Amino acid sequence: MWAATAAASASSPAVPPPPRRDYASLFARGKNGGCPPLFLAPMEGLGDARLRRSLSLSVGGFDEACREFTRVPGTLSQGAKAEKLLRGIALNGYDAEELSRPANASLMGSNPDLLEHCARVLARETRAPRVDLNCGCPANVVTGKGAGSSLLRDPNDVYACVSAIRRGCEGTGCVPTLKLRSGYDDDSLLRENLLAAQEGGAAFVTLHPRTRRQGYSGRANWKDIAIAVETLDVPVIGNGDVTSPERARALLFETGCAGIMVGRGAVQDPLVFRRIKAELRAGDWSEGGGGAASSSSSFGLTPAEEASEVVRFLRAFAAEVFADDLLISPRKRRRKLKGGAAAEEQFKLGKLKQIVKYLFAGNASLSPHLSRVLSCDSIDNGITAREMLDVVCDLVATSWDTPTDVLVDAFSMRTSYEGGRLLV
Ligand SMILES: Cc1cc2nc3c(=O)[nH]c(=O)nc-3n(C[C@H](O)[C@H](O)[C@H](O)COP(=O)(O)O)c2cc1C
């Protein structure tokens, strides 16, 4: 059905404007034996603007940062001033100037008309290089409203929503893209969903090969990424469980994907993008095995230099958190102000701990110190966020090791630790 609709509704302008970002050259880089483009994954609550900015301002290494989603409602209340409301929704939280190069915009919703309208606002009023449709969020509160990964239950819905975003972007040079999981309960509709996205006009797709049912458990099934590459003409970005240059190389070799997206691995090891770039530039990854550079140790920095880079990132992140009031949603800011200075200190400690959990868990020499750091508390033991930051930076400076290849599961963090040690 979506194939027929696609043919009927194709109405591109005669000469489409050039894309705002030269994705074609970016993907060609990988084809020509260089390092394929590297994307920092969207991670709501963890990978927010603070993380994107601090990584970008300190250690860098990625080609594009991806924004967490903006939620587009399924319906508008009666009598709502639709134009004004949707403009507010579309622009809420998206700041094209947050980095030196604009991050993508990402929409999550299920109503094609409203998605189209929001995409149009983003494409016309911001420098967004692309508007991505979220087809991955597994949260019940989202899927219950037919959005996120629940679109994957019907390729017609995927087609309708991607083509709505394409219409919204038309005539601007901003391109529509899609980020999806392998499926809802299983991956039986994977090919159909991928083709629906391509026919809908997605310039490329990012696949996180777990189903909604899997959440973040088990291993990402990279075979689904290979299926996507085989099925589609547009580029496929592979995502899921990349925590080291070795795993990046393996992902490319096993799937032939055109780019790599890293999420949790970049918090565990802020240098992971630079490691991957060094590895994939130096070796012929198309051969799969080790090229000239085949292990993390070939990155070129001594452990002490690595440690000081990580400290630089931590201090940049803390600077974002300590100065950040503008980045907090008005609702959270009200709550924070209500609690006064103590609540503000707890908030800062909480944000630092969130990063430290990942950073220490992936590092054999640091993980034994994790429970001590997590027990820092401004109320119970009077430790301020700045004091905790100094403790953490000292530990990193003295104990940093090349991170071990474990993957921290964000959603079972608490149960994954015992006595400060990661249980895998
Ligand atoms: C805390 C957290 C928040 C996430 N939020 C988003 C999101 O807002 N939008 C999205 O498309 N994916 C989101 N994801 C999924 C990631 O972008 C990525 O697909 C997933 O973590 C697998 O990649 P990784 O193994 O490199 O972390 C989130 C993941 C985590 C762990």
| From-to residues of CATH 3.20.20.70 in the chain | 20-299
- Residue 400 predicted with pLDDT over 70: yes
Known catalytic residue at 376: no
pLDDT band at 281, cuts 50/70/90?
A: confident
CB contact at 8 A, 221 and 207: no
pLDDT at 414: 39
- Residue 309 predicted with pLDDT over 90: yes
Tokens of 204: 């490329």
d(CA 424, CA 409): 10
pLDDT at 247: 94
CB contact at 8 A, 211 and 186: yes
CB contact at 8 A, 214 and 183: no
* pLDDT average, residue stretch 317-329: 74
- Residue 138 predicted with pLDDT over 60: yes
Query: Where does 136-211 have alpha helices with state H?
Result: 140-143, 155-169, 190-200
Closest ligand 1 atom to residue 206 Cα is 19
Distance of CA 240 to the CA centre of its chain: 10
Inter-helix orientation angle 245-255/272-282, to 10°: 60
Mean pLDDT of the chain: 87
- Residue 401 predicted with pLDDT over 60: yes
Closest ligand 1 atom to residue 42 Cα is 17
The set of protein residues with a Cβ atom below 6 angstroms from ligand 1 is 41-46, 68-69, 134, 136, 179, 208, 239-242, 262-265, 410
* Rg, Å, the chain Cα set: 22
Tokens of 338: 């209500």
Exactly one of 35, 135, 137, 169 is catalytic; name it: 137
pLDDT band at 334, cuts 50/70/90?
A: low
How many angstroms is it from 12 CA to the middle of ligand 1? 32
Closest ligand 1 atom to residue 179 Cα is 11
Beta bridge partners of residue 60, listed in sequence order: none
- Sign of the C-alpha dihedral computed for residues 267, 202, 151 and 123 taken in this order: positive
Of 374, 16, 309, 285, which Cα lies nearest the Cα of 172? 16
Report for 123-137, 311-325, 371-385: range of highest mean pLDDT: 123-137
Residue nearest to atom 13 of ligand 1 (CA): 43
pLDDT at 16: 82
pLDDT at 417: 39
pLDDT at 423: 41
- Residue 324 predicted with pLDDT over 90: no
Distances (CA, A) of 282 to 5, 74, 249, 262: 46, 48, 12, 20
Closest ligand 1 atom to residue 41 Cα is 17
3-state secondary structure of 40: strand
Q: Interior CA angle at 383 toward 380 and 388, to 5°?
A: 130
How many angstroms is it from 364 CA to the middle of ligand 1? 24
* pLDDT average, residue stretch 370-381: 82
3-state secondary structure of 366: coil
pLDDT tens for each residue of 63-73: 999 999 999 99
Of 12, 44, 57, which Cα lies nearest the Cα of 314? 57
Tokens of 128: 């967004």
Closest ligand 1 atom to residue 208 Cα is 19
d(CA 104, CA 30): 20
pLDDT at 305: 94
What are the φ/ψ torsions at residue 81 (nearest 5 degrees)? -80, 90
Residue nearest to atom 21 of ligand 1 (CA): 263
How many angstroms is it from 266 CA to the middle of ligand 1? 11
How many angstroms is it from 227 CA to the middle of ligand 1? 21
How many angstroms is it from 137 CA to the middle of ligand 1? 8
Q: Which of 215-229, 255-269, 338-352, 361-375 has the lowest mean pLDDT?
A: 338-352
pLDDT at 347: 86
CB contact at 8 A, 179 and 151: no
Of 155, 152, 95, which Cα lies nearest the Cα of 126? 95
Distances (CA, A) of 204 to 71, 117, 375: 21, 21, 44
pLDDT at 105: 97
Q: Which of 66-80, 103-117, 303-317 has the lowest mean pLDDT?
A: 66-80
- Residue 411 predicted with pLDDT over 90: no
Q: Which of 44, 149, 152, 416 to mutate to test the pocket of ligand 1 (most atoms within 8 A of CB)?
A: 44
pLDDT tens for each residue of 161-203: 999 999 999 999 999 999 999 999 999 999 999 999 999 999 9
Of 249, 235, 243, which Cα lies nearest the Cα of 284? 249
Architecture of the 20-299 domain: Alpha-Beta Barrel (3.20)
Which residues, 6 or more positions from 218, have their beta carbon under 8 angstroms from its beta carbon?
Answer: 210
Q: Which of 39, 43, 225 to mutate to test the pocket of ligand 1 (most atoms within 8 A of CB)?
A: 43
| Parallel, antiparallel or unpaired: strands 421-422 and 417-418 | antiparallel
Q: Interior CA angle at 50 toward 106 and 149, to 5°?
A: 30
pLDDT at 226: 98
Strands (E), 60-152: 64-65, 70-71, 105-108, 130-135
pLDDT at 344: 82
How many angstroms is it from 320 CA to the middle of ligand 1? 21
* pLDDT average, residue stretch 76-81: 80
